[in-house]
Structure formats: C-alpha cells, structure tokens
Amino acid sequence: MPTVASTPAASLPVVNDTRRARDRLTADFATFLELLTTQLRNQDPLSPMDTERFTSQLVQFSIVEQALRTNERLERLVNLVRTGTAASALALVGRPILVDGSRMRVDEQGGATIYTLDRPAASVTVRIFDDSGRLVLATAGPAGAGANRFVWDGRLLDGTRVEPGTYGVAVSALDAGGRPIDVRFERTTTLEGLEARGKDLVLVADGIALPPEAIRPASSAG
C-alpha cells in the first residue's frame, strides 16, 4: 500500500487564474488610459477626435473587470468551502470511519473501490454509472469471499477515458447454482490522510482516493 501523507488545508494549491487575468486587464487598462491621454493632449483643437470609440472601449474594460471580480469572489467562496471540508476531514485522520464503496472517485489515473461478498462467487458483474445515473460500463469483478478491491482505469470499452468525477457502483454476484450473493459496500476502516489532486481534495482510506461525501465517522453508524 502506498504511503499517504496528510495534507493540511492551508497547503492545498489555489488556482489564481482569475486574479492574474484581472492584473493583466489592469495593466492593459493603464496602458489604454496613457495612450488616450496622450492622444487627447495632442489632438487638433479644430478637429477633435471622435470620443465614441474611446467611450465604447471604456465600457468594455468595465464589463470585463466586473466579470473577473465576480469570478474571483466565486473562487474565494469555493476555496472557503474546500478549506472547511479539509478541516473537518483532518479531524478524522487516524480514526475509524464508515466508507460507502458505492461511490467511486475517478480521476486521470482511474479509480478504485472495495465491496464485500458473504461467500465466494462464480460470477461478479460490476456496473458503473455517471452522475446522471447512466450506465457507462459493465465488467467482471473479483469474486473472492470477503473484501474485494475493484480497480478501474477510467476507460470505456472503446478505449475512451471518462471525465473525472464521482461515479456510482453497483455489484451483482451469483454462486455456482445461480443464486444471488449478498454484496456489501459499507465498511469500517481508518482514514489515512488527505491529498490534493489538481483542484480537488480527496480523502484516502485503504489506499483508495475517496470523495468527501463517501465517508462519515464510524461513531455515526446506526
């Protein structure tokens, strides 16, 4: 099992694309004003320049700036929510948790989950659904008694890769006589740590990256 280090919320990468775009806009706007001032200073008093074009440009700068400011506020709100999630999750690191394996986080490397069979199965079918409930893949899964680790590379049968996100998992298992076997997704384990993957915060248990909504404290069972 790979070693996973806990990642404090404050160290998570923050995307500042909007802020950089606003800085570029501010620099462009300053250059525009400098050119406008120079042109107005040197214009022919008997043939003044048409100010309609300059007014239109000023309005466009204002609209873009307002849009960027709105995006920046939304980014701050998302970061606050993410930080709050991280702070709550950090309190659970090293403690028992209940994991819902029917929700699998999938990123560019794929995803994994664990399900439990009451007894060995002759056949196991794993079905994966997107967030709209649409079936995206049906494939065979491990069939041993007890906990089974299912790993998916995130690719469909035609080789295309699915979009990163949280996917639903359903498992059906049959014994040699064609009788159904009980499949359990919820398990008690220990939260090993947190990881920042791109813009997302993921929780790690049993070496598997989990979406935050897939876990809860073990004390909340029942």
Please tell me the predicted confidence (pLDDT) of residue 205.
86
Alpha helices in the chain (DSSP H): 17-41, 52-90
Nearest to 206 by CA among 116, 118, 139, 121: 116
Query: Which H/E stretch holds residue 199?
Result: none
Instruction: Read off the pLDDT of residues 33-46 as tens digits, 9 standing for 90 and up.
Output: 676 677 667 766 66
Q: Which residues of the chain register pLDDT less than 70?
A: 1-23, 25-26, 28-29, 32-33, 35-36, 39-40, 43-55, 57-91, 197-201, 219-222
Query: Per-residue pLDDT tens for 80-96?
Result: 445 555 566 666 777 88
CA dihedral 171, 222, 210, 97 (to 10 degrees): -130
Q: What are phi and psi of 199, to 5 degrees?
A: -90, -5
Report if pTM > 0.85.
no
Measured CA to CA, the distance from residue 140 to residue 219 in angstroms comes to 34
Quote the pLDDT of residue 142. 96
CA triplet 173, 175, 181: central angle to 5 degrees?
Answer: 45
pLDDT at 80: 45
Angle between helices 17-41 and 52-90 (to 10 degrees): 160
- For position 114, what pLDDT does the model report? 93
Angle made by CA atoms 81, 129, 15, in degrees to the nearest 5: 30
